[in-house]
Structure 1
Amino acid sequence: MKTSQFRKLIKTNLAPVLHELGFSGTDHHFVKVDKNHVINTIVIQADKYGGSCVVELGVHFDFLPNPLGELIPANKITVYDCEFRTRIVHELTWFQSNVLRKKKSEAWFRYGDTEDESIAVVQKMKEMIVRQGTMYFAKFNDFPHVITSITTNELSHRTKILDSYGAPLDLRLALLIARTHAFLGNAVDAANFAHWGLENIGNATGLIQDFTEFFD
């Protein structure tokens, strides 16, 4: 089945469920803008060779530019604009996880050869998006605490909780935290994270100007 045909099935079999959860979108990009500055996004990303897709989830905040420095209207944000990103993964049983010690891997969904097969794939995708997406997006419900509680020590050692957020790497995350503190009016905290960023800048010299803006 072609990607264009599969997206029609997403539109009729998946999109209505996401709309009930507050998302807008039709066949592969979906976005939900919460009142507390949080933006949740979903994309069903087709394999460039066709025949399958992967589901990616993203979280962004309406006062932040995207990674390219562009400030985009909240309802136009896609996963590709988000600082926090993760993918739907294969779900393991207790036996697989604890006895066989298998690790979760991202789930690629093969379209199927017939419409019935493809509808079954969309159904499975829907169940996993709702289950995993609900858990992932819930991590950001207590904004701004989810960001302001991150310490420079966590940045230095890349804790498991940061990985569970799908957080950007240390310098971009430091910049994001500094911008969040600045948005909240916490000038001292913003400057502290900017100072940490400059101290650890390494070869990422393109971020120097972004960090120095907190000292103007």
Structure 2
Amino acid sequence: MTTRAAFLKLLTRKLHPVLMAEGFEGSGQTLRRIEGPVIHVFNVQGASGGKQCYLNLGAHLDFLPTEGGGQVAPAEIEESHCVFRDRLDPPAGEAHGWAYGRSMEEAEETVEFIVSEWAGPGRGFFAKHGNYPQGFLQMLRETDLARIHARTALHLARIALHLGEHSIARTLVDTGLAKAPERATSLKADLERVLGN
């Protein structure tokens, strides 16, 4: 059985140089890339059971409150603070994250696959949340209001307001308020505050 430490060492040796060549900085399990207001976070999170890990992707804008409502310095932000989050998923059938493997050979195969997956889904996530302001304007215009979650509407309304898109912000606030569960009083209050209601 490959240990977590051995797997992380292998991941650091193979994947970190790829990330750092693309502007990520840091060491250990969290790397960040800061370009203007855009903050990107890559994080390795151990799964319960000690046999696998998750590869978390986060994107944030420095003028937004963090997920949960706080403020964190860009150089210290964690993936869990980001308003846009995803995971680099393992192959179909892997139920709980990326398995460390039963041998170093298996671990090496897994890490090679992770590096290849970075080129598609990993880069794709960050590209979608990378071009400010144009990429975020496009995101606002392409948002499907019928499928949006109330909390996502809050984040996008704040972005719209920051970009001077007041009518889009108003529509997002109204949509968020309509979709927010009755008990979500703090979420509703945050939505109402976006436009100073």
Shorter-chain TM-score range: 0.7 to 0.9
Alignment partner of 1:136 out of 115, 119, 125: 125
Q: 1:200 maps to which residue?
A: 179
Asked whether the equivalents of residues 38 and 143 of structure 1 are also in contact (C-alpha less than 8 Å), the reply is no
| Secondary structure class of the residue paired with 1:8 | helix
Asked whether the equivalents of residues 15 and 27 of structure 1 are also in contact (C-alpha less than 8 Å), the reply is no
Q: Partners in 2 of 1:199 and 1:119 — Cα distance?
A: 49
Letter of the structure 1 residue corresponding to residue 140 of structure 2 = T
Cα 1:55–1:107 shift into 2, 3 Å: farther
Alignment partner of 2:169 out of 169, 183, 190: 190
Q: CA deviation at 1:60?
A: 1.7
* Structure 2 residue 18 is the aligned partner of structure 1 residue 5: no
Q: CA deviation at 1:116?
A: 4.0
* Structure 2 residue 153 is the aligned partner of structure 1 residue 174: yes
Q: CA deviation at 1:4?
A: 2.6
Equivalent pairs: percent with the same residue?
28
| Secondary structure class of the residue paired with 1:31 | strand
The two structures, once aligned, show a CA RMSD in angstroms of 2.5
Alignment partner of 2:137 out of 145, 168, 171: 145
Find runs of 4+ consecutive structure 1 residues off by over 4 angstroms.
103-107
Q: Unaligned 5+ residue runs, structure 1? A: 92-102, 159-168
The structure with higher relative contact order (CA 8 Å, sep 6+) is 2
Q: 2:196 maps to which residue?
A: 215
Letter of the structure 2 residue corresponding to residue 147 of structure 1 = M
Q: Tell me the matched-pair count.
A: 191
Q: Unaligned 5+ residue runs, structure 2? A: none
Q: Choose 186-195 or 52-61, whichever is displaced more.
A: 186-195
* Structure 2 residue 78 is the aligned partner of structure 1 residue 78: yes
Q: 1:38 maps to which residue?
A: 38
Give the structure-2-normalised TM-score: 0.82
| Secondary structure class of the residue paired with 2:145 | helix
